[in-house]
Amino acid sequence: MVHESTAPDQRFFVLTGGPGSGKTALIEGLARAGFARSVEAGRGVIQDQVAIGGPALPWHDRTAFAELMLCWEMRSWHMALAQAGAVFFDRGIPDVAGYLRLQGLPVPGHVEKAVRLFRYNRRVFITPPWREIFAQDRERRQDFDEAVRTYDTMVATYAGYSYELVEIPRTGVEERVRFVIGHAGVA
């Protein structure tokens, strides 16, 4: 059982994977089950940048987009410290490094340092590519092939930062919620 006094690297759980693989629906299911959660940085940054006419968008300035995602993820990590018990993150700081690698961009030293300083539970949950539920929208412009490449990049990135990946089965949301709760040991 995870208690509120437990260190972040014990009670902070990341859900990662490619776009359109059911992460957000799963996070919402975990929230309905009473767990604290974060909001995905990428989608939030895109929505905010579009609203203000900002340039930090993945189709305009990928480096600026990554910097804003990094700030968002660090703030989410800090805000989670005030939450009791387990907190589930819709992506984490290593996702920013993975995004940069996926784009063929260098991972700056400050991003590497953030990945080392802001740790999560060693067990990271990853949603595999799932063509049947994949859909594009205003913020998600990637195609399914890029979703697969993103998944592969996140596997390599998290493993490279000494996280243990647990693949979530392609099942309904409630079954996925039970799977994550059971494997996180937070029932």
Q: C-alpha angle with apex 35: 11 to 1, nearest 5 degrees?
A: 45
Interval 74-88: pLDDT, tens? 999 999 999 989 999
pLDDT confidence of residue 4: 47
Distance, C-alpha 133 to centroid of its chain: 18
Q: Output the DSSP codes for 21-74.
A: SSHHHHHHHHHHTT-EE---HHHHHHHHHHHHT-S-STTT-HHHHHHHHHHHHH
Round to whole Å and give the CA distance between 35 and 28.
9
Taking the C-alpha atoms of 145, 160, 107 and 110 in order, what is their torsion angle to the nearest 10 degrees? 140
Which domains occur in the chain, in start order? 8-40+70-184 (3.40.50.300)
Q: What is the mean pLDDT of residues 59-69?
A: 95
SS3 105: coil
Q: Which two tokens stand for residue 26?
A: 């799963």
pLDDT at 5 over 70: no
Where is average pLDDT lowest: 92-96, 126-130, 131-135?
131-135
Confidence of residue 45 (pLDDT cuts 50, 70, 90): very high
Biggest alpha carbon–alpha carbon distance for the chain: 45
Residue pLDDT, tens place only, 88-117: 999 999 999 999 999 999 999 999 999 999
